[in-house]
């Protein structure tokens, strides 16, 4: 009996699940102090396929209707809005895309609804859940917060 259990254990050993570890691969940032409506990152590359890309955008507001990001483009990927908070003047947004193959010398561009000062950081992550559409399987809970006056707060 012990011999049969040992053989069964040795047979099942190779199918033990491998746990992926999420890691940051590439990070690029662009800060725009002059009021414009489009900004692009410098070029960057990823080291592997199946990477989640996140674009973090924060922007000012001059007047009238509040600012929003009207679109993100780059690398021929499909970008989707993950979360936005623009209850107060300006906006803070996160957009996502999924790169099934290695990206080489690409740039990411954000377009805003009006000419304002804004900042964008794009990060790529390896070891993410590849299920879903355009990286949706790699996203857990999301939330947004704001405060006036004071710092925003959020609970996990």
Q: Is 15 contained in some domain?
A: no
Amino acid 152: pLDDT: 61
Under DSSP, the state recorded for 76 is T
Question: Is-contact 79 55, C-beta < 8 A?
Answer: yes
- What is the C-alpha separation between 90 and 63, in angstroms, rounded? 10
- What is the C-alpha separation between 147 and 19, in angstroms, rounded? 38
The whole domain housing 128 covers: 28-132
Q: Is 1 contained in some domain?
A: no
Q: Is 145 contained in some domain?
A: no
Specify the number of domains making up the chain: 1
Q: Per residue in 72-102, is it b (16+ CB within 10 Å) or e — as a string? A: bbbbebebeebeebbeeebbbbbbbbbbeee
Structure tokens that stand for 7 in this block: 């053989």
Q: Is 144 contained in some domain?
A: no
Q: Provide the mean pLDDT of the chain.
A: 85
Q: Is 14 contained in some domain?
A: no
Using only C-alpha atoms, the chain has a radius of gyration, in whole angstroms, of 21
How large is the average pLDDT for residues 60-73?
91
Q: Is 19 contained in some domain?
A: no
The whole model's pTM is what? 0.82
| H-run or E-run covering 15 | none
Q: Is 6 contained in some domain?
A: no
* Range scoring the smallest mean pLDDT among 76-85, 121-130, 133-142: 133-142
Q: Which residue has the higher pLDDT, 145 or 92?
A: 92
- What is the C-alpha separation between 71 and 36, in angstroms, rounded? 14
Q: What is the CATH number of the domain that holds 118?
A: 2.60.120
Question: Is-contact 75 136, C-beta < 8 A?
Answer: no
Q: Is 39 contained in some domain?
A: yes
Which residues 6+ apart lie within 8 Å of 36 measured at CB? Answer: 115, 116
């Amino acid at each position: 009996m012990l011999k049969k259990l040992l053989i069964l254990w040795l047979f099942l050993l190779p199918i033990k699940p491998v746990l992926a570890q999420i890691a940051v691969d590439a990070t690029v940032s662009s800060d725009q102090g002059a009021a414009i409506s489009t900004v692009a990152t410098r070029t960057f590359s990823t080291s592997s396929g199946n990477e989640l890309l996140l674009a973090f955008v924060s922007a000012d507001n001059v007047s009238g209707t509040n600012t929003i990001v009207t679109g993100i483009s780059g690398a021929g990927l499909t970008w989707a809005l993950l979360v936005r908070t623009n209850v107060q003047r300006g906006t803070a947004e996160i957009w996502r895309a999924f790169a099934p193959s290695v990206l080489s010398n690409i740039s990411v561009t954000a377009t805003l609804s009006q000419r304002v000062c804004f900042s964008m950081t794009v990060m790529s992550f390896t070891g993410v859940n590849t299920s879903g559409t355009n990286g949706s399987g790699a996203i857990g809970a999301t939330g947004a917060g704001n405060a006036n006056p004071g710092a925003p707060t959020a609970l996990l």
